[in-house]
Amino acid sequence: MAAIERLNSVQLFDKGLSNRTEFDSLATLRAMNVHLDELRPLPSAADQAEAQRQLELRQQRQLAMSDTRRAHVLDAARRVFADKGVEGASIREIAREAGYTAGALYSYFDSKEAIYGALLAESLDRLQAEVQAARALKAQPGKALAAKAQAWFGFYASNPRDLDLGFYLVNGLAPHGLTHELDRTLNERLLEALRPCEQALEDLGLPPDAAARENAALFAHGMGLLLLKHTGRIRLFGQAAEALFAQYVDRLVERFDPAAPGRALPQRDLFAE
């Protein structure tokens, strides 16, 4: 019995020694790791700046590549929409035209309507740039009105596909598939592009509500003429849309601009007492 107890004591001692040895080894390794970390040189400020610069360059290249591919998708969608209309086109057809799979296309746009919205937003940006580029003397609001109105009319006359996008010319004149938020945003951008005409009318002395009405009438008249031109129906009347619009604008200016050449000046009644 005593022999068995001595054997157990030896085993417990050996086990304790083994555990202590393992503990000491781990502690040594941890200490070595600390020393190795302390020996590893830290990057200099110049090295850190260079690493940050390289990271930013990679991010810029990735962003540029993404923008290029996105523009490529939009170009393909523009061709498909021109051929089949927004309603008749599909994501699969747009992807095929762009040389992508339909799944890859969803990396850039989550729906056909999102593609359409991006195209229309781009179109409205170009429209606004065209209107802003039309210059006239600030002291001559009548000429400013004519220049700005002719700018947006000329943009749509020269870019019928943009007119299609703006008019939702797919199975009628109603928007299809646009979310309320997207439709509202695009309408606001169109109004922003037309705002310079309204401002010119206010500069001619019209109250804001009257200027808004005249601007709406101007846009409606121009869009009607553009639709006739775009569909070829204007030929039924033997007229040119551009000439008819210019005539409308001239008469609008004459109504409100005292300096307009064609406006009749008020005459004093010579027989009045």
Q: What is the spatial distance between Cα 115 and Cα 86, in angstroms, rounded to a whole number?
A: 10
Q: What is the pLDDT of residue 43?
A: 76
Q: What is the spatial distance between Cα 186 and Cα 120, in angstroms, rounded to a whole number?
A: 8
Q: What is the pLDDT of residues 34-75, one digit of tens each?
A: 555 555 667 777 777 766 666 665 555 555 446 788 889 999
pLDDT-above-70 percentage for the chain:
69
Residue 267 clears pLDDT 50, i.e. is over it: no
Lowest mean pLDDT among 12-16, 108-112, 134-138: 12-16
Q: What is the pLDDT of residues 85-101, one digit of tens each?
A: 777 888 999 999 999 98
Q: What is the spatial distance between Cα 253 and Cα 233, in angstroms, rounded to a whole number?
A: 27
Q: What is the spatial distance between Cα 271 and Cα 17, in angstroms, rounded to a whole number?
A: 133
Q: What is the spatial distance between Cα 258 and Cα 199, in angstroms, rounded to a whole number?
A: 17
166: nearest Cα among 152, 180, 179: 152
What domains can you pick out in the chain, each with its CATH number? 54-105 (1.10.10.60), 113-256 (1.10.357.10)
Q: What is the pLDDT of residue 228?
A: 95
Are 58 and 67 a contacting pair, CB within 8 Å? no
Average pLDDT along the chain: 78
Residue 246 clears pLDDT 70, i.e. is over it: yes
